[in-house]
């Protein structure tokens, strides 16, 4: 019997987002029509969000293995070894659609969600980073509103929970006007033995839900299943906006980590999309067991919830764990200490079935495999687009403007100006590990031992990690394969500037509707570029997230793969800085730099469409340049190091001057385009001349002016003011 024969089932599964074909597969697999609770569970588990049905096959192309990988993709977060028996777990995730509806809560709960993924694997969160995309702020009050509220939401959650927000990136392009991107990355640390799996184990063990009460949050789409007729008043009871409660999550985090420290849990899992259904079924699937859950045992925020609502509620700040029966009292004791509500809601069985009970009576029964593994995975039909993905826009700077005018316009532009008005809303120092915070270096640097614990032992190296997050939709649009690869190189370049060597990558693939052939092509090309660049640099991908269907009536967003990278440096005391510091230091260019204007910030300000491609890069040269910079920083040969990124070489030099509050005299190599870009390949370093041996010297640090010989001089204070005001001018209550 197929879906077409089931007149009332048919409408429902379609409204729940399942195709007729998928519904047929379900009916075949079950040997019967699913009931309401079952249909609700299946429709969510077979959604794009949970099943990755349009991306899973492509993701298999990513390199996921390496000597430092402790946990690869598949768990809540991947993890790499950083020595001293320590693991670093990290992951980036999108919260785009909720943030477009309610930016403060959407962004806040995005941070809350990614933090739960980190402590679910047993790691204490030690850093948050964010990657944000909005429409053009100058033209769009809505983009300014989204920016302001999303930033406030991220700060609210991260600051209140006591995890430092140490880095991020923000870009503005018209394609994000209706579909902003809010990606959040979290990084955590754990001793190896505390890394925890979510696989449910031990038939007869109990399943315990702890944390916030379960309400009707996020039920939205599935409310077609509600048995009662919907009245307006009922509708108001089905909130789709989830409210973040960082205070609840702080207690949940401390409680979870204490439970793991005391070795009381067999497994641990966070509740995210699709709530209890997804967490419990994935735990069961990974453990190869069955589960039984009684919804009457779930503590509710609203008394009259139906079983399907309880099973798919997306209420925040909840965790699920599996506990041996004799340890339950001790687990409840720890929960009580942290004032975290906990309830035994079910048990692990050997049936391979996910059974849902209401007061002991069966209301749903599904094979775990059907829920978790049997959703069909689709092949895409990639086809290159017939028209350019990025076509340029309004002109803001004359193409024949003099170099100083152009430099000033770039420094003050929304994409390049200082992010200070944003990052001042984030606490970057809580937990006492932050050796480099925003605008001090190209990547954040976090000491592994807490710094203030260091008593006296000043001569020992302090192992540290560096973290960076990057993306560039416009350049990926010019060439998805080369653009995605370039993002990886740029991220690694940021790490090199602090002296760090990359250990692992996480990624968030933000794209449009993959059922459109040209979007499928963008996705496929970008994944190939990403995979290739990771292989080139020997950095495995340990996790990530995919966000598809980022579209508005005007079409898809620019293809926006966002890369988060974690690296290690042997000694935090030698961590690099980006600002020039010592008058008399020479300035050198490191790397093979072949700047071009297609897809660059200057092309954007000129309003020009790309005519060609991104610069062709030599992988060997990139590796050599990164290594030269990394070693120079580690050996303290360089006073400063900064990669040449958006805006080109003059912008990079101006940023070094602004960060250090000191000028420079520069002789630009003949024929070098001062505003062309070639991301991830080249660096500006400064240091005493004997330390820069073998490098092409292009200038000297000193005075209060930036002098570009033969072209212009300008006071650093003037550049600094322009750079500093660019974004605050666009934010309403900026001081």
Partner 1 sequence: MKFGVIRFPGTCDDVDAQLAAARVGEAALLWHRDRDLQGVDVVIVPGGFSYGDYLRAGAIARFAPVMESVIEFAHEGGLVLGICNGFQILCECGLLPGALLVNDHLKFVFRQVRLDVVDHNTPFTRNCPPSLSIPVKHTTGRYYSPEPVQVVLRYAPGENPNGSQDDIAGVVNNAGNVFGLMPHPEHAVDALTGSTDGLTIFESLRTAVGERVPVA
Partner 2 sequence: MRARVLIRPKAGILDPQGQAVERALPALGFTGVSEVHVGRLVELEVQDESQLPAMCERLLANPLIEEYEIQTGHTAAWGERASEEGTAA
Ligand X SMILES: Nc1ncnc2c1ncn2[C@@H]1O[C@H](COP(=O)(O)OP(=O)(O)O)[C@@H](O)[C@H]1O
For the CB of residue 42, give the shortest distance to Mg ion in the complex, in Å.
Answer: 19
Reading the block at residue 423, the tokens are 């990052």
Q: Which residues contact 407 (CB under 8 A, 6 or more apart)?
A: 650, 651, 654, 674, 675, 712, 714, 719
In the complex with partner 1, which residue's Cβ is closer, 690 or 733? 733
Region 363-392 residues binding partner 2, contact defined as CB under 8 A:
none
Reading the block at residue 653, the tokens are 């030099």
Based on the shown chain and the rule CB under 8 A, indicate whether residue 262 belongs to the binding site for partner 1.
no
Based on the shown chain and the rule CB under 8 A, indicate whether residue 415 belongs to the binding site for partner 2.
no
Can you tell me the distance from the alpha carbon of 168 to that of 424, in angstroms, rounded to the nearest whole number? Answer: 12
Relative orientation angle of helices 103-120 and 246-261, to the nearest 10 degrees: 0
Among 24, 38, 93, 117, binds Mg ion (CB under 5 A): 117
Region 141-160 residues binding partner 1, contact defined as CB under 8 A:
152, 155-156, 159-160
For the chain, the first-to-last Cα distance in angstroms comes to 66
In the complex with partner 2, which residue's Cβ is closer, 142 or 355? 142
Among 234, 258, 424, 592, binds partner 1 (CB under 8 A): 424
In the complex with Mg ion, which residue's Cβ is closer, 284 or 587? 284
Among 339, 379, 400, 693, binds partner 1 (CB under 8 A): 339
Cα atoms found within 13 Å of the Cα of residue 428, Cβ hemisphere only: 22
In the complex with Mg ion, which residue's Cβ is closer, 161 or 226? 161
Among 409, 485, 546, 572, binds ligand X (CB under 6 A): 546
Cα atoms found within 13 Å of the Cα of residue 185, Cβ hemisphere only: 32
Q: Where are the beta strands (DSSP E) in 559-659?
A: 560-569, 586-590, 640-643
Q: Which does 264 bind (CB under 5 to 8 A by kind): Mg ion, partner 1, ligand X, none?
A: none
Among 236, 387, 458, 616, binds partner 2 (CB under 8 A): 236
Q: Which residue is nearest to ligand X (CB)?
A: 544
Can you tell me the distance from the alpha carbon of 585 to that of 686, in angstroms, rounded to the nearest whole number? Answer: 6
Can you tell me the distance from the alpha carbon of 623 to that of 610, in angstroms, rounded to the nearest whole number? Answer: 28
Judged by DSSP in three states, 654 sits in helix
Q: How many CB atoms lie within 10 A of CB 645?
A: 22
In the complex with ligand X, which residue's Cβ is closer, 318 or 630? 318
Q: What residue has token string 């080369």?
A: 482
CA distances from 32 to 36, 356, 668, 693 (A): 13, 17, 74, 76
Q: Where are the beta strands (DSSP E) in 279-383?
A: 290-294, 318-323, 342-349, 353-358, 361-367
Reading the block at residue 232, the tokens are 């307006």
Q: Which stretch binds partner 1 (CB under 8 A): 271-279, 450-458, 597-605, 712-720?
A: 450-458
Q: Which stretch binds ligand X (CB under 6 A): 128-136, 433-441, 447-455, 536-544?
A: 536-544
In the complex with ligand X, which residue's Cβ is closer, 92 or 416? 92
Based on the shown chain and the rule CB under 8 A, indicate whether residue 239 belongs to the binding site for partner 2.
yes
In the complex with partner 2, which residue's Cβ is closer, 1 or 101? 101
So which residues are the catalytic ones?
49, 95
Based on the shown chain and the rule CB under 8 A, indicate whether residue 573 belongs to the binding site for partner 1.
yes
Burial (CB < 10 A; 0-12, 13-18, 19+), residue 732, is exposed
Can you tell me the distance from the alpha carbon of 343 to that of 323, in angstroms, rounded to the nearest whole number? Answer: 12
Judged by DSSP in three states, 503 sits in strand
Q: Which stretch binds partner 1 (CB under 8 A): 113-121, 282-290, 307-315, 423-431?
A: 423-431
Among 135, 174, 215, 647, binds partner 2 (CB under 8 A): 215
Q: Which does 657 bind (CB under 5 to 8 A by kind): ligand X, partner 1, partner 2, none?
A: none
Based on the shown chain and the rule CB under 8 A, indicate whether residue 577 belongs to the binding site for partner 2.
no
Region 104-133 residues binding ligand X, contact defined as CB under 6 A:
117
Based on the shown chain and the rule CB under 8 A, indicate whether residue 101 belongs to the binding site for partner 2.
yes
399-403's contacts with Cβ under 8 Å and 24+ in sequence apart are 399/606, 399/608, 402/711, 402/712, 403/650, 403/674, 403/675, 403/708, 403/711, 403/712
Judged by DSSP in three states, 66 sits in coil
In the complex with ligand X, which residue's Cβ is closer, 349 or 545? 545
Based on the shown chain and the rule CB under 8 A, indicate whether residue 429 belongs to the binding site for partner 1.
yes
In the complex with ligand X, which residue's Cβ is closer, 62 or 706? 62
Q: Which residues contact 76 (CB under 8 A, 6 or more apart)?
A: 91, 116, 117, 118, 120, 121, 198, 269, 270
Based on the shown chain and the rule CB under 6 A, indicate whether residue 543 belongs to the binding site for ligand X.
yes
Among 21, 192, 262, 301, binds partner 2 (CB under 8 A): 301
Residues in the chain: 735
Return the closest-CA partner of residue 639 out of 597, 677, 584.
Answer: 584
For the CB of residue 441, give the shortest distance to ligand X in the complex, in Å.
Answer: 27
710: left (phi over 0), alpha (psi -120 to 50) or beta: left
Based on the shown chain and the rule CB under 8 A, indicate whether residue 303 belongs to the binding site for partner 2.
no
User: Could you tell me which residues are beta bridge partners of residue 269?
Assistant: 320
DSSP, res 170: E
Q: What residue has token string 């506990």?
A: 323
For the CB of residue 103, give the shortest distance to partner 1 in the complex, in Å.
Answer: 15
Among 38, 130, 136, 270, binds Mg ion (CB under 5 A): 270
Based on the shown chain and the rule CB under 8 A, indicate whether residue 452 belongs to the binding site for partner 1.
yes
Backbone angles phi, psi at 710, to 5 degrees: 80, -5
Binding marks (x or -) toward ligand X, 233..272, rule CB under 6 A? ---------------------------------------x
CA distances from 551 to 46, 384, 465, 508 (A): 21, 18, 36, 16
Report the run of H or E that residue 326 belongs to, with start and end: none
Strands 342-349 and 124-134, by their bridges, are: unpaired
Binding marks (x or -) toward ligand X, 506..535, rule CB under 6 A? -x-x--------------------------
Based on the shown chain and the rule CB under 8 A, indicate whether residue 313 belongs to the binding site for partner 2.
no
Among 421, 471, 480, 544, binds ligand X (CB under 6 A): 544
Binding marks (x or -) toward partner 2, 250..289, rule CB under 8 A? ----------------------------------------
Q: Which does 597 bind (CB under 5 to 8 A by kind): partner 1, ligand X, partner 2, none?
A: none
Residues that bind Mg ion (CB under 5 A): 76, 117, 270, 272
Residues that bind partner 1 (CB under 8 A): 152, 155-156, 159-162, 245-248, 250-251, 338-339, 423-432, 434-435, 447, 450-455, 462, 572-573, 733-735
Residues that bind partner 2 (CB under 8 A): 101-102, 105, 212, 215-217, 232-233, 235-239, 241-243, 245, 247-248, 301-302, 315-316, 733
């Amino acid at each position: 019997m197929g879906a077409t024969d089931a007149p009332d089932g048919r409408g429902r599964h379609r409204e729940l987002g399942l195709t007729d074909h998928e519904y047929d597969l379900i009916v075949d697999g079950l040997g019967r029509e699913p009931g309401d609770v079952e249909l609700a569970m299946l429709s969510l588990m077979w959604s794009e969000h949970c099943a990755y049905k349009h991306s899973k096959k492509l993701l298999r192309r990513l390199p996921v293995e390496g000597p430092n990988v402790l946990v690869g993709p598949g768990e809540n977060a991947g993890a790499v070894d950083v020595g001293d028996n320590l693991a670093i777990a990290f992951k980036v995730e999108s919260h785009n659609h909720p943030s477009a509806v309610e930016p403060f809560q959407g962004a806040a709960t995005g941070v809350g969600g990614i933090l739960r993924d980190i402590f679910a694997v047993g790691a204490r969160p030690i850093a948050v980073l964010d990657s944000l995309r909005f429409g053009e702020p100058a033209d769009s009050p809505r983009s300014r509103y989204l920016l302001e509220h999303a930033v406030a939401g991220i700060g609210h959650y991260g600051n209140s929970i006591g995890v430092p927000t140490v880095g991020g990136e923000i870009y503005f392009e018209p394609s994000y006007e209706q579909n902003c991107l809010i990606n959040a990355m979290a990084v955590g640390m754990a001793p190896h033995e505390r890394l925890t799996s979510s696989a449910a184990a031990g038939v007869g063990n109990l399943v315990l839900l702890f944390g916030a009460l379960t309400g009707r949050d996020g039920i939205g789409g599935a409310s077609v299943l509600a048995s009662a007729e919907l009245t307006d008043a009922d509708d108001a009871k089905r909130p789709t906006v989830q409210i973040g409660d960082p205070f609840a999550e702080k207690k949940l985090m401390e409680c979870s980590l204490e439970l793991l420290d005391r070795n009381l849990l067999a497994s641990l899992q966070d509740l995210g999309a699709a709530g209890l259904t997804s967490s419990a079924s994935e735990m069961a699937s990974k453990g190869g067991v069955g589960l039984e859950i009684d919804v009457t045992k779930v503590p509710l925020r609203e008394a009259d919830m139906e079983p399907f609502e309880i099973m798919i509620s997306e209420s925040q700040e909840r965790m699920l764990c599996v506990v041996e029966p004799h340890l339950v009292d001790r687990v409840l004791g720890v929960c009580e200490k942290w004032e975290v509500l906990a309830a035994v809601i079910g048990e692990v069985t050997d049936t391979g079935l996910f059974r849902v009970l209401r007061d002991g009576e069966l209301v749903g029964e599904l094979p775990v495999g059907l829920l978790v593994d049997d959703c069909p995975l689709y092949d895409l039909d990639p086809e290159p687009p017939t028209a350019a993905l990025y076509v340029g826009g309004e002109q803001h700077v004359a193409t024949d403007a003099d170099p100083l005018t152009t430099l000033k316009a770039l420094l003050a532009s929304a994409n390049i100006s200082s992010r200070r008005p944003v990052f001042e809303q984030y606490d970057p120092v809580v937990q006492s590990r932050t050796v480099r915070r925003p605008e001090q270096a190209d990547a954040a640097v976090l000491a592994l031992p807490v710094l203030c614990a260091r008593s006296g032992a000043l001569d020992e190296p302090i192992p540290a990690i560096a973290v960076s997050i990057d993306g560039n939709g416009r350049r990926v649009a010019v060439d998805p394969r080369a653009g995605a690869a370039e993002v990886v190189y740029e991220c690694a370049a940021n790490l090199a500037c602090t002296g760090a060597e990359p250990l692992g990558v996480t990624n968030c693939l933000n794209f449009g509707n993959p059922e459109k052939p040209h979007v499928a092509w963008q996705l496929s090309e970008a994944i190939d570029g990403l995979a290739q660049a990771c292989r080139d640099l020997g950095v495995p991908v340990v996790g990530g997230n995919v966000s598809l269907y980022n579209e508005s009536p005007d079409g898809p967003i620019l293809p926006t793969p966002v890369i988060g990278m974690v690296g290690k440096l042997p000694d935090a005391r030698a961590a690099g800085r980006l600002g020039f510091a010592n008058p008399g230091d020479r300035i050198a260019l490191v790397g093979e730099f072949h700047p071009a204007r297609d897809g660059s910030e200057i092309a954007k300000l000129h309003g020009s469409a790309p005519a060609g491609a991104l610069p062709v890069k030599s992988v060997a040269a990139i590796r050599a340049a990164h290594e030269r910079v990394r070693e120079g920083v580690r050996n303290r040969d360089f006073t400063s190091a900064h990669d040449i990124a958006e805006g080109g070489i003059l912008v990079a030099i101006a940023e070094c001057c602004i960060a250090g509050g000191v000028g420079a005299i520069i002789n630009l190599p003949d024929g070098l385009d001062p505003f062309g870009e070639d991301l991830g390949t080249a660096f500006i370093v400064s240091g005493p001349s004997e330390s820069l041996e073998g490098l092409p010297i292009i200038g000297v640090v000193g005075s209060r002016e930036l002098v570009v010989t033969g072209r212009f001089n300008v006071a650093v204070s003037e550049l600094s003011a322009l750079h500093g005001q660019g974004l605050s001018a666009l934010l309403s209550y900026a001081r």
